[in-house]
Amino acid sequence: MLIKARIFEHYNNYTFKIPLKGGERLYVKNQQRVLPGDTLFSKSENRIKESYFLVDELGCKTTECYKHISCIDGSYVEEGEVLAEKVSKNGLSVKQIVATASGVVDLERLSKGFLDILAEEEESIIQSNFSGVVIDVLPASHINISSPASALDLSATTLFEEKLFGNMVFVNKSERLISEIPDIDLKGKIAWVGAHLPLNLALKAFQRGAKAILAYSMEYEDFKNLGLPIGIIEGFGRIHCDEKFLKELYKIDEKFVVLDGQETQLFIAKSEQREKVESQFFVKELLGAQIISRHSAHYGYIGTIVQINDLNYVTVDFGQSGKSIVDLGSLDFIVM
């Protein structure tokens, strides 16, 4: 029997956890109903003014960045001061990172390879853009909220037990790759910069303060080496991302999402569940069923079965890409 893979699992009520680090001012309490626009909590934060990726700039591993730092965490530096230095070739070669702006040094992301210069402290307010009920509040630990939600399975994520939250932002909705990140504030956001994620673009998004990046595919080596929060929806290498999927994905723009490393899923909180909550697991009828191909000739293409042939073969209509005869074992049945 054949199972339908639900690309988005829709829930009328799903309890998700917003992690708290401590120092937040809470505006919600247990059993409180939360509506879009309500303030959940606020915290004092410094906006990132400048960011340097030491792995690229100095040519060192993320685990060795601390060895080259020549400034103190939390200290104020003036423009032109040396922040990090790497001496090599017995002192013949010296690479330096010089502050291009004045501000407070922040080494919080040093383990991920970043050295940040922060602007003045400002209060950031986390507001709800969904409706739900607060189930549990534990300061410095978490807020649990039950709300209508959808979940998107991820193929892989660099997070392990961690959960990251923020508003989803689509920096690039075109099919083409971009080389520069437009002037959008990504601080605290989960960003999408295109279906395929090249390493240099990922770094630029993180330099802009993105909390995590969601992508359809990227090179496995980059995924492993980057060491920053990434969620991969489909897989590795350049994989065709079907526009039918993108159309559904773009619906989560600006939504509050939780990237859950433990579940390897992305949860999307909503103000109401407009999608049909699918209750059936199995494919009842092959004809007309929607599939995604796992055959190397059309890997990742979404199509519809239009004819059943002998010996487990079916004809699939891939729309503009034409029709193809495919073995059933090379197809995944899907529901958007």
Partner 1 sequence: MNKLPLLHKNAYLTIVVKDNAIWSHLAYVDYNSEVQYILSDYTDISHLRRRLDDPIFFQGFWNEYFTLLQKTFGWEFMETLDKNLNRVMEFKDENYGLSGIKVLVDDNQDFLVNIFHSITQYSHDIAVRVMDKPHMRKMIGKFAEKLGYRNLLYIDLDIDSFQIYRVDRENKNKRDNKLPIQYKYEEISQQWSSEIAVIDSIKNKKLRAFLAADIDSQQLQNSWANLILHPVDVLLDQNLLDILRSFTTVQLLSLFTDNRSKLTEMGEGNTLIILGGKIPRLLGKKMTLLTVIDGLELYGHFDVAWDNDCKVLAYAISTSEGIGSSDIVIGKNDVLSGITKVLIPELKSKRAVNKVIFSGSIDSQDFNREKILLLGDTFEMVDIDNKINKVIFEGKFEENVYIPSLENKKVEFISSPMGTKYDNLLIDSRLRPIIYGTDSYKNKLKINKWLNAN
Can you give the binding site for partner 1, defined by CB under 8 A?
A: 1-5, 9, 11, 151, 153-156, 219-221, 224, 235-237, 239, 263-265, 279-282, 294-296, 299, 327, 329-330, 332
Name the residue nearer to partner 1 (CB basis): 188 or 227.
227
Q: Minimum Å distance from CB 279 to partner 1?
A: 6
In angstroms, the CA 192 to CA 170 distance is: 5
Which one-letter amino acid corresponds to residue 174?
Answer: S
Residue of 263, 274, 246, 265 lying closest to 11 (CA atoms): 274
In angstroms, the CA 167 to CA 254 distance is: 5
Q: Minimum Å distance from CB 212 to partner 1?
A: 17
Name the residue nearer to partner 1 (CB basis): 84 or 302.
302
In angstroms, the CA 305 to CA 299 distance is: 16
Name the residue nearer to partner 1 (CB basis): 180 or 310.
310
Q: Minimum Å distance from CB 239 to partner 1?
A: 8
| CA distances to 46, 144, 149, 222 from 120, in Å | 6, 31, 36, 34
Name the residue nearer to partner 1 (CB basis): 127 or 330.
330
Q: Minimum Å distance from CB 155 to partner 1?
A: 4
Name the residue nearer to partner 1 (CB basis): 1 or 92.
1
Name the residue nearer to partner 1 (CB basis): 26 or 336.
336
Q: Minimum Å distance from CB 64 to partner 1?
A: 21
112 phi-psi bin (left φ>0, alpha ψ -120 to 50, beta other): alpha
Q: Minimum Å distance from CB 162 to partner 1?
A: 15
Burial of 31 (0-12, 13-18, 19+ CB in 10 A): exposed
| CA distances to 107, 146, 152, 268 from 11, in Å | 39, 10, 11, 10
What DSSP assignment string belongs to 5-59? EESEEEEEEEEEEEE--S-PEE---TT-EE-TT-EEEEEEEEEEEEEEEHHHHH-
Tell me the pairing of strands 163-170 and 114-127: unpaired
Q: Minimum Å distance from CB 238 to partner 1?
A: 9
Name the residue nearer to partner 1 (CB basis): 3 or 98.
3
